[in-house]
A and B are shown apart, each in its own frame.
Chain A
Amino acid sequence: MASLTDFTIAQLRAALAKKETSAVEVADAHLKKLDEHRALNAFITETPEKARAMAAASDARRAKGEAGLLEGIPLAIKDLFCTEGVQTTAASHILEGFVPQYESTVTTNLWKSGAVMVGKTNLDEFAMGSSNMTSHFGGVENPWKRKGDNRKLVPGGSSGGSAAAVAAYMVPGSTGTDTGGSIRQPASFCGIVGLKPTYGRCSRWGVVAFASSLDQPGPFARTVEDSALLLQAMAGHDPKDSTSAPLAVPDFAAAARNPDINGLKVGIPKEYRVDGTSPEIEALWTRGMEMLKAAGAVPVEVSLPHTKYALPAYYIVAPAECSSNLARYDGVRFGLRVPGKDLAEMYQNTRGAGFGKEVRRRIMIGTYVLSAGYYDAYYKKAQQIRSLIARDFNQAFEKCDVLLTPTAPTAAFAAGEKMDDPVTMYLNDMFTIPASMAGLPGISVPAGLDKDGLPLGLQLIGRAFDEETMLRAAAALEKAAAFTMRPAGY
């Protein structure tokens, strides 16, 4: 039998169902990988004891014939999801040592379906970043390296630890959150599948908030089917999140097992051909379209005229919401407190010491654009642009069923590259942010390697609450691309 850590979630489910292995055995095999690859810094907190206890409980449930959808499947959880009794930091000094007294809805759903937690993964501080370099706990190393070059590469961000853990076979699946690309871009950099559901599909309750009108939890896995299985367990209406959609959860896994895309209209947005995209990514995009065409899809050129404005509009909307959300970190009720001579100074000292550079920068952008006299010029303007972006997508979806684009403009870069100025780093999310602004689902599927041997992903964007069509197209792309490469040494 192959190593248990090479199994996909679907394969583990089958092996567990046939009693060829046990949840405890599966957990131990993966915990061993956490030990072996600790140098990647993918985890902020490992929870081996909890994992073994949850696995033993899972085996007991199975023995009673009560197996859930993810019974016995070990998962890593982005350290942005509150987990009862387990430190939750958002990779920030200001939350270091914070132990939630409650469990997020998404993780509650996962544990109810039988999944087992092995630990909490590293991320950019408060999910603000595209490289995982802004974590208070240090950057994460991408398991992939350029051929003949030993420099450490970033896993992307913000859900970098969750992506690296799956790419390094430490877990078969993990959770992330995506505000402007934080699931899809790291999935592309790490050669795995990352799915951002429609805004409202997964509850945000118990997820540390960054930009509430954009934040959306979603899964990472190594196959499209596995990502669908995870989404199925994570999703569902939650009265505790007022933006959670009151819709039944479709059979996502069934959609992912059906790569029939005969006659499916695949839109190619012409505005996504932009300067600064690597020629290899352009070529891969064309190849991706040819693959889908060979599988029966019909390519359709569409126009999303406001694409280039999505990124600057995002850098008003997201910081505005971040500055409001992060006002709660004041040293009074939880988290860090740095004393001061009076209350105002305590606030300033606590927040000055507790937040890192990028978070402080975004709080300041948000504070400025929301301040008296600037609101209309910035925040209202950005929200109007957001309307136009959403309208662009609605019009495009009159002509097609799903959109195909690159996920990121480049492959993974080295730690320290792209750090010269904030805007250069922001450009990483140029292909993922438009769908975020419109609340649409997107999935990154690994589609090939570049000349340096690094993975590249392609993104499919679906209609709101039509993840099923998107998953069918993703399954077809996955089948045609047949991406089976793995990082050397993992």
Chain B
Amino acid sequence: MSLDKDMVARIARLARLKVPAEELGTLAGELSGIFAWIEQLNEVDTRDVEPLSSVSDVTLPLRPDKVTDGGMAARVLANAPGGAVYIDPSDKNAGGFFTVPKVVE
């Protein structure tokens, strides 16, 4: 499997990664090399083999659908990179918002 620059640009867009145009060629080479090496998996006959998605034998545990914590909006928002907006600045745990660039005109 060989990847060209256009494909790398498409993957970068899907991954929401800004990749400078001048790096696309190098990346295409590196990724093609990795996928060429991965190709060896095709030597293995995997017909009728169940895929293994998790090694844990545990069936996912269920718990009662009850609220177990909350009332900590201030802590949830503490690391907000754009700064947070609080409903009631005198009681930050009353709730608030992360801020993002405007998406709706």
Interface residue ranges, A against B (CB under 8 Å): 98-99, 101-102, 199-200, 213, 239, 242-243, 245-246, 306, 308-309, 312-313, 315-316, 323, 327, 330-337, 339-344, 346-349, 351-353, 355, 360-361, 363-365, 367-368, 371, 378, 380-388, 390, 421-423, 438-439, 464
Contact = CB atoms under 8 A, between A and B. Distances in A.
A243 B56 contact: yes
Contacts of B81: 331-337
A242 B16 contact: no
Nearest to A326: B15
Contact of A239 (B3, B49, B61, B82): B61
A384 B80 contact: no
Contacts of A367: 11, 14-15
A384 B46 contact: yes
A213 B27 contact: no
Interface residues of B, number: 48
A19 B10 CA distance: 64
B30 A361 contact: yes
Given A199-B55, A243-B58, A336-B81, A347 B16 contact: yes
Contact of B34 (A306, A334, A342, A422): A422
Interface of B: 3, 8, 11-19, 27, 30-31, 33-34, 37-38, 40-44, 46, 49-56, 58, 60-61, 63, 72, 75-76, 78-82, 98, 100-101, 103
Interface majority SS (helix, strand, loop, mixed), chain B: loop
Contact of A344 (B15, B16, B75): B16
B31 A340 contact: no
A312 B82 CA distance: 40
A221 to B, nearest CB: 25
21 contacts: A98-B79, A99-B79, A199-B56, A243-B54, A243-B58, A246-B61, A309-B41, A312-B38, A327-B16, A331-B82, A332-B80, A334-B80, A337-B82, A339-B101, A348-B13, A352-B17, A360-B17, A363-B15, A381-B46, A384-B52, A390-B55
Contacts of A439: 55-56
Contacts of A341: 101
A387 B58 contact: no
Contacts of A99: 78-79
B31 A363 contact: no
Nearest to A380: B51
A2 to B, nearest CB: 43
B16 A422 contact: no
Contacts of A313: 41
Given A365-B34, A381-B46, A384-B51, 16 more contacts: A99-B78, A101-B76, A243-B54, A312-B41, A335-B81, A340-B101, A343-B103, A344-B16, A355-B17, A361-B27, A363-B15, A367-B15, A384-B50, A388-B46, A390-B55, A423-B37
A245 B52 CA distance: 18
Nearest to B19: A352
Contact of B80 (A243, A333, A336, A386): A333
